[in-house]
């Protein structure tokens, strides 16, 4: 078996992982002020926040390129690959996953799987890393997919945003919920549900209480297994460190890492968001 993994730029990936020749990453453009950028190529994360702050309108994102994915599959076929796993941002926040299913039948010479990750960011990167490692360890394709599905089923993220308007204008939260939240200074805790859709999990009155509640939720959802846990933020280093210290006081820093949301996700969450993502070690 010669396996390739394809993902998108919302996945948090280490430099070592990005260097692997059997990993392919689809760009997701960010449109700011009528100009299209790709983070990591013609836009740094710092520049993204500067441009977002200066723009009179919120940035917009589009789906990864279906044409580019088709080109990669053609390339893989010509290079002797036999199996492909595509791991992309949740179908609950993007229509890309639904739009690519027909490609599986277009390449009968390849055994292709496009499981719905139902997540994004660091947990998605963990799935990519594990899939590549399992292939290197000699697992069969069926065993890889079984372990991957087990990881997907046990993965989620809980999020506290600083400004609900980004989620509203991006179509991720109703206008009514945003209006009430902003007027009453409510900090809603959002989460990825079982379908990979972002929903309101709980409404908390203040940010301090919301962070404490996030820590309690994390302790509860990870109490019966071993997990990788990621504190993920969008220009909210102080909140992320506070979150980390709170977990450290509880002795919960094993397999814990602080990372940043990429510009695509930060477009929809806004600056100041902090979250934790968790994914089981399988």
The tens digit of pLDDT for each residue in 40-55 reads 899 999 999 999 888 8
Residues forming a β-bridge with 231: 258, 276
pLDDT the model gives residue 165: 62
Residues forming a β-bridge with 275: 159, 232
pLDDT the model gives residue 188: 80
CA 144/CA 85 separation, integer angstroms:
10
- Residues in the chain, total: 282
pLDDT the model gives residue 175: 47
Residue spans of the chain under pLDDT 70: 163-185
Instruction: Give the sheet arrangement for strand 187-192, strand by strand.
Output: 198-204, 187-192, 156-160, 274-280, 227-233, 256-260
**223-251 tens-digit pLDDT:** 888 999 999 999 999 999 988 998 888 88
The model's pTM? 0.91
Quickly tell me which residue has 């394809």 as its tokens.
6
pLDDT the model gives residue 134: 98
pLDDT the model gives residue 121: 96
CA distances from 33 to 51, 60, 162 (A): 8, 9, 22
CA 99/CA 94 separation, integer angstroms:
10
pLDDT the model gives residue 249: 87
């Amino acid at each position: 078996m010669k396996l390739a993994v394809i993902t998108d730029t919302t996945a948090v990936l280490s430099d070592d992982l990005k260097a692997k020749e059997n990993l392919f990453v689809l760009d997701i453009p960010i449109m700011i002020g009528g100009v299209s950028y790709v983070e990591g190529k013609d836009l740094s994360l710092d520049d993204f926040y500067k441009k977002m702050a200066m723009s009179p309108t919120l940035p917009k994102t589009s789906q990864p390129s279906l044409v580019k994915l088709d080109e990669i599959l053609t390339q893989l076929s010509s290079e002797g690959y036999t199996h492909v796993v595509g791991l992309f941002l949740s179908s609950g926040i993007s229509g890309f996953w639904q739009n690519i299913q027909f490609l599986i039948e277009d390449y009968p010479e390849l055994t292709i799987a496009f499981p719905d990750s139902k997540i994004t960011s660091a947990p998605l990167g963990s799935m990519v890393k594990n899939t590549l490692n399992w292939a290197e360890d000699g697992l069969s394709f069926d065993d890889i997919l079984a372990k991957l599905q087990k990881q997907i089923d046990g993965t989620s993220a809980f999020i506290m945003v600083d400004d609900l308007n980004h989620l509203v204008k991006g179509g991720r939260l109703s206008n009514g919920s945003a209006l009430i939240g902003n007027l009453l200074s409510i900090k809603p805790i959002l989460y990825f549900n079982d379908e990979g859709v972002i929903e309101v999990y709980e409404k908390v009155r203040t940010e301090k209480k919301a962070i404490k509640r996030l820590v309690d939720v994390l302790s509860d959802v990870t109490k019966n297994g071993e997990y990788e846990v990621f504190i993920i933020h969008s220009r909210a280093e102080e909140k992320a460190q506070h979150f980390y210290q709170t977990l450290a006081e509880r002795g919960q820093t094993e397999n814990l890492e602080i990372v940043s949301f990429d510009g695509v996700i930060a477009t929809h969450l806004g600056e100041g968001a902090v979250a934790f993502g968790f994914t089981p070690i399988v």
